[in-house]
Amino acid sequence: MNKAWLGDQYASLLDPRSTWFQRWYFELRVTEEIYRFQRYGQLASLIVMIFGTKNSEKDYLARLAKIADEGLRLIDIPGHIESREYGICLPHTPASGAEVVLDRLADLLSDFSVQIGYAVFGEDGETFWELLSAARKNATGTSKRPIPFHAA
């Protein structure tokens, strides 16, 4: 996703290394979307990607930037959650759509040691932290080199 439209005054919203939204803003935006889902009965999913420590940070950050620029819809919300953890909020996306995105991400990230999981609003949780926890629990490895998963 091209974030040039944000301008310099909004640079604090973006993680400088990944160009995805900072955790605080990502959490805020996902929470705003959750309120919208609750009010209008819409669907949404949250995808989480957790990169292993053996990955080159420079390499996977470059891949994430490419995914954000070329592979996401304008309404999708990409965010940096923790050190090697990134998430994408997918508004108006049921579980079947999240699975399609997850499979596409698994293909795009197949040369990295990464775990990817998703959660669906309403089914897996009703707050940002419930969805994040469920997506982390559902995370599975995409490479032949599985990495241990430690919940925060």
Residue 3 lies in a domain: no
Convert the pLDDT of each residue in 86-108 to its tens digit. Answer: 999 999 999 999 999 988 888 88
* Contact in structure between 116 and 106 (CB atoms under 8 Å): yes
User: Running DSSP on this structure, what letter comes out for residue 16?
Assistant: T
What's the CATH code of the domain at 128?
3.30.70.270
CA distance 78 to 75: 10
Strands 77-82 and 114-120: unpaired
pLDDT at 21: 94
Query: What are the phi and psi torsion angles at 125 (to 5°)?
Result: 170, 165
123 is in which domain, residue-wise?
14-141
pLDDT at 45 > cutoff 90: yes
Range 8-23 average pLDDT: 84
Residue 152 lies in a domain: no
Range 21-40 average pLDDT: 93
| Domain count for the chain | 1
- Residue 45's SS3 state is strand
Residue 8 lies in a domain: no
Residue 6 lies in a domain: no
